[in-house]
Amino acid sequence: MAHWLICLWGAPAALGFALLFNVPPRVLPACCAMAVLAVGVRYAIVTAGGDLVMATLVAASAVGIVAQAWARRLRHVSVIYAISAAIPLVPGVLMYHAVQAMLRIAALPNNAPGGALLEEAGVNAIRAAMVVLALTIGIAAPRLLWPHRHG
């Protein structure tokens, strides 16, 4: 699939969650644009050979910085932009594979070896947790480094 098309698929996911979170309608295009930015940054880094966790950290940081800038300009809270835009970066496939491996372990007979399945489940669960941690740090860091000053 073309790079630009993969980036565009971030917008419907962000739009859906923005609507679910009751984001004001005039902010929805910004949430979608930031999701396209986030997916594009992460996809570009991963296809260039970068690590998924670091690519997610860079993409989430870009989202956090742009959200801070837009929030100051439009006088909103940056979280309404950042959270919706970061939703497409959640590692659903890794979580799915981890749970599937755990379910296959549960279905094994009593004395069957399950070491490979346990390793697969553990690796996928840890990678998913690291991606979620990178999302959290990337979104929160700009808010902590450049807090919004009232007045």
Helix H or strand E encompassing 127? helix 115-145
Q: Which two tokens stand for residue 138?
A: 């990337």
Euclidean distance between CA atoms 4 and 51, whole angstroms: 20
What would the pLDDT profile of 55-70 be if each residue is shown by its tens digit?
Answer: 999 999 999 999 998 8
What is the separation of C-alpha 31 from the centre of its chain, rounded to a whole number of angstroms? 13
Residues 93-122: what's their mean pLDDT? 92
Residues 20-41: what's their mean pLDDT? 93
pLDDT at 151: 45
Residues 90-101: what's their mean pLDDT? 95
Dihedral sign, CA of 69, 76, 135, 7?
negative
Domain ranges of the chain: 3-90+133-145
Inter-helix orientation angle 10-20/79-86, to 10°: 130
pTM score: 0.88
Euclidean distance between the first and final Cα of the chain, in Å?
48
Rounded to a whole number, what is the largest CA-CA distance in the chain? 68
What would the pLDDT profile of 77-89 be if each residue is shown by its tens digit?
Answer: 888 889 999 999 9
* pLDDT interval class at 15 (50, 70, 90): very high
pLDDT at 138: 95
> With 90 as the cut, is the pLDDT of residue 148 above it?
no
* pLDDT interval class at 150 (50, 70, 90): low
